[in-house]
């Protein structure tokens, strides 16, 4: 489900807690075309990359409250995104699908989540073999690998940093992010990967997307990047854009 093309779309962003939410106003600035990304912080009872906590973060009632809040605070939306990778893939493919369906019913506009945005971004670029650099503990990161597998995306290697809280992830500097991506790409097991995936919306990446691609010599897809891209795509504003990495630069005819 996508909307009729909108010149200046409004994409509602549901974001859990506080960590890298400032990536979204930065993305607005880089888009520079009037597209708007109003953001509502959804309830996070416990900041923990732990399965039980993530299931709570992505629960239907919390997302419904967030959808109502972002619509009420910023008027009509063209699409809405649950901007949390772990809080979507932790439900599994079927659970994440039901999560998006419920969100769409409440918001009454096209909806998606960051996990599905990664899948759609890979499909857009014709990518089916990747390496993953995750900030999460291993057990959570492995669920992302399983989710990608359901979409036919093969993960050649998984590197996890084992960080428990989103708040800590949000403190990682641009240089650390660049080094992390380079380390993932430099793993001999990642030699055949067509892209590097970095699946955490708590990670600041919007200001370094082009640098990430240049550093590793292949597309680097990040959580906040694919979330914005998916929202614009669903809102009918899918076109080539510069300054936001290979995914945005490719335009709608890639893949």
pLDDT, tens only, 148-199:
999 999 999 999 999 999 999 999 999 999 999 999 999 999 999 999 999 9
10-residue stretch averages of pLDDT, the chain, 255 residues long: 66 97 98 95 95 94 94 86 98 97 95 98 98 97 98 98 96 98 97 97 98 98 98 95 96 66
**Check: CATH 3.40.640.10 for 11-117+224-250?**
no
Q: What is the CATH number of domain 126-221?
A: 3.40.50.12500
Query: What's the whole-model pTM score?
Result: 0.95
Work out the mean pLDDT of the chain and round it to a whole number. Answer: 95
Strand order in the sheet with 111-113: 39-42, 11-16, 79-82, 111-113
Where in the sequence of the chain do the CATH 3.40.50.12500 domains occur?
Answer: 11-117+224-250, 126-221
Residue 235 per-residue DSSP state: T
Phi-psi category of 158—alpha, beta or left, where left has phi over 0 and alpha has psi -120 to 50? beta
Tell me if 80 sits within 8 A of 14, measured CB to CB: yes
């Amino acid at each position: 489900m996508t909307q009729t093309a909108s010149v200046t779309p409004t994409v509602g962003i549901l974001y859990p807690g506080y960590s890298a939410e400032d990536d979204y106003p930065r993305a607005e600035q880089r888009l520079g075309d009037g597209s708007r990304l109003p953001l509502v912080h959804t309830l996070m009872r416990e900041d923990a990359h732990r399965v039980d906590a993530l299931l709570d973060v992505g629960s239907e009632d919390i997302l419904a409250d967030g959808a109502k809040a972002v619509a009420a605070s910023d008027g009509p939306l063209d699409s809405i995104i649950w901007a949390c990778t772990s809080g979507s893939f932790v439900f599994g493919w079927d659970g994440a699908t039901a999560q998006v369906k419920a969100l769409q019913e409440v918001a009454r506009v096209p909806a998606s989540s960051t996990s599905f945005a990664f899948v759609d971004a890979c499909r857009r670029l014709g990518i089916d073999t990747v390496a993953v650099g995750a900030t999460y503990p291993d057990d959570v990161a492995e669920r992302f690998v399983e989710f990608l597998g359901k979409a036919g995306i093969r993960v050649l290697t998984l590197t996890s940093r084992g960080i428990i809280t989103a708040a800590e992830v949000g403190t990682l500097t641009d240089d650390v992010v660049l080094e992390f991506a380079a380390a993932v790409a430099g793993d001999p097991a990642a030699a055949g990967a067509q892209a590097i995936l970095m699946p955490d919306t708590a990670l600041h990446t919007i200001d370094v997307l082009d640098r990430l691609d240049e550093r590793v010599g292949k597309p680097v897809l990040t959580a906040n990047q694919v979330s914005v891209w998916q929202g614009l795509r669903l809102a009918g504003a899918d076109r080539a854009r510069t300054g936001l990495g290979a995914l945005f630069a490719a335009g709608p005819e890639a893949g």
